[in-house]
Amino acid sequence: MTRVLVVDDDKVLREVLHEGLFENGFDVQSRDSAESARLALKEIDFHILISDLYMPDGGGVELINWCVEKFPELKVLAMSGKCLNSKISQLDALRGRGVPTLSKPFTIEGLVELMNNMMNSSYDNTSIRNK
* CATH code of 51's domain: 3.40.50.2300
Q: Would the CA dihedral through 71, 130, 10, 46 be positive or negative?
A: negative
Secondary structure element (H or E) that encloses residue 42, with its range = helix 34-43
In a domain, 113, yes or no: yes
Range of 74's domain?
A: 3-119
68: in domain: yes
- Hey, which residues does 75 pair with through a beta bridge? 48
Order the strands of the 27-31 sheet from edge to edge.
27-31, 3-7, 48-52, 75-80, 101-103
* CA–CA gap between residue 72 and residue 47 (Å, rounded): 11
- Is 59 part of any domain? yes
Task: Please give the span between the terminal C-alpha atoms of the chain, in angstroms, as a whole number.
Answer: 29
Question: Does residue 126 belong to any structural domain of this protein?
Answer: no
Task: Determine, yes or no, domain membership for 19.
Answer: yes
Give SS3 for 118. Answer: helix
pLDDT tens string, the chain, 131 residues long: the values are 999 999 999 999 999 999 999 999 999 999 999 999 999 999 999 999 999 988 877 688 889 889 988 998 999 998 887 654 445 555 555 665 567 778 788 899 999 998 998 888 555 444 333 33
Are 6 and 28 contacting, i.e. CB atoms less than 8 angstroms apart?
yes
Q: What is the DSSP letter of 69?
A: H
Domain count, the chain: 1
33 in a structural domain: yes
Q: Could you tell me if residue 18 is inside a domain? A: yes
In a domain, 124, yes or no: no
Q: Is the pTM of this model over 0.95?
A: no
Query: Which of 102, 104, 86 has the alpha carbon at shortest distance from 49?
Result: 102
